Amino acid sequence: MFSKTYLSHYKQTITLALPIIAGQLSQILISLADTTMVGHYESQSLAASSLANALFFTVFIVGIGITIGLTPPVASSFAAGDMKACKRYFKHGIVLYSTVGLLIFAIIYASSFFLEDMGQQPEVVSLARPYLQVIGGSAFFVLIFQSIKQFMHGLSHTKEPMFIEFGEAILNVFLNYLLIFGNWGFPEMGLLGAGIATLLSRMAGCIALVIVFLSSAKFATYLQGMEWNVFSKSEFMYLLKLGVPIGLSMLFEMSAFAMSNVMMGWIDANTLAAHQIALNIASVTFLVAQGISAATAVRTANQLGLKNTQELRMAGKAGMIINLMFMAFCMLIITIFYQSLPALYVNEVEVQKIASTLLIVAALFQLSDGLQVACMGALRGITDVRMPTLITLFAYWGIGIPLGYMLGFTFGMGAVGIWLSLFLALTAAAILLTVRFLSRSKTIVQNAPAIVPNINAH
């Protein structure tokens, strides 16, 4: 763990990850701003935003996962010096992912008319529907942003998206201030105003990144000689082959948490609001770990392109160790401040009390959450995406949701029982994914020529 070689991997991974982490945190600030400002506006609106965001991200996360499939082949091609392959991946990626964005918007808009069928309270549904429809419109712009962002990450350029994501978060808070509460002469729109603010800030972020990409000299090489009238079905299929399993694995995890939202709604609105608060706090720590995971994917993909198989295995382990250390720190912080953190979100004492209890469980699963996401990144970097997808399906839907229903309702443990099941699901995923990476990376080391893909074949 502390040899010079490992220290070098830690340094390179952290250097690459810091801008990604900052960008990830800026994006969670949008959700935090919506949750906090809507919570202070009205607790019923907070419950509605929890429901709508759970449904939105259940569909949206698949599109995000599909775009992540662009980074490993770009990183491997870049490390191998194959600029033509990088261009082809970008061209096909931008067309593919923008089309997926339109499809996601259509699905989200249609799903907004089925909220009553989920057993939620009518007053919550009436607030959630228009909000869900508005934020659904942001999917197209976010996936264009993601296409360019993931391409930049593959080239190890992570700072440009970070700065724009921070600007997007600041703009969102400002627009929330105007549109939720009706300040400076703007109409008081409540939760719908938060949705409009999110849509406008994401549109602005997309436009800004496109301008940066087109105007920056460092990316000009990848735009020169681009034949936009020539496309290959095999290129699209290859990106889908990588991206769809990633999207599905993220869906299985996200949908498990979304289903937990639905089950919380079966209890009452206060429990649902408390669940959203605890989930937001846990999401902050997870997105930092996810940033390390994204950097680990780039690092292992680079080593795969260079055919440095021993270094590939060490790069993956380094990402795992960094995440375990960080999440251990997060576990300590949440344990210390579990009673005071909910007060930052909402004024109702009952909601604060429930959220504090859930945060104790959130502290328990920090290590498991950090390890499983680091392993996912390492496996994605070596384009091993199918088996990890099956592992996540088993962990979250084979263990998490059935056990959550049993503990929460059959054994009467309520919200705590549901969260304990999520802890066990994350732990199962962490163990199985760790075994998978250690086994798969060992095979690559032993049989490098047969495993390293022919980058020029796609």
Contact call for residues 145 and 174 (beta carbons, < 8 A): no
Query: Considering only CA atoms, which of 393, 365, 381 is closest in space to residue 437?
Result: 381
Contact call for residues 145 and 205 (beta carbons, < 8 A): yes
What pLDDT does residue 451 have?
A: 39
Which residues contact residue 145 at a Cβ distance below 8 angstroms, ignoring those fewer than 6 apart?
Answer: 161, 202, 205, 206, 209
The yes-or-no verdict on residue 376 having pLDDT over 70 is: yes
Taking the alpha carbons at both ends of the chain, their separation in whole angstroms is 37
- Cα separations in angstroms, 355 against 132, 191, 340, 446: 24, 21, 10, 49
Structure letter (DSSP) for residue 347: -
Which residues contact residue 398 at a Cβ distance below 8 angstroms, ignoring those fewer than 6 apart?
Answer: none
CA distance 22 to 306: 28
What pLDDT does residue 395 have?
A: 95
What pLDDT does residue 452 have?
A: 40
The yes-or-no verdict on residue 446 having pLDDT over 70 is: no
Helix (H) or strand (E) holding 42: none
Q: How many Cα atoms within 13 Å fall on the side-chain side of residue 103?
A: 12
pLDDT (average), residues 154-169: 91
| Amino acid, single-letter form, for residue 309 | T
DSSP secondary structure of 390-422: HHHHIIIIIIIHHHHHIIIIIS--HHHHHHHHH
CA distance 376 to 146: 19
Q: Which of 31-35, 112-116, 147-151, 187-191 has the highest mean pLDDT?
A: 147-151
Render pLDDT for 180-225 as a digit per residue (tens, 0 to 9).
898 998 998 988 999 999 999 999 999 999 999 999 888 888 888 7
Render pLDDT for 299-344 as a digit per residue (tens, 0 to 9).
999 888 888 888 898 999 999 999 999 999 999 999 999 888 888 8
Enumerate the domain spans of the chain.
4-457
Q: What is the pTM of this model?
A: 0.82
Render pLDDT for 390-431 as a digit per residue (tens, 0 to 9).
999 999 999 999 999 999 999 989 889 999 999 999 999 999
Mean pLDDT of the chain: 88
Give the start-end residues of each E strand in 300-340. none
What pLDDT does residue 71 have?
A: 92
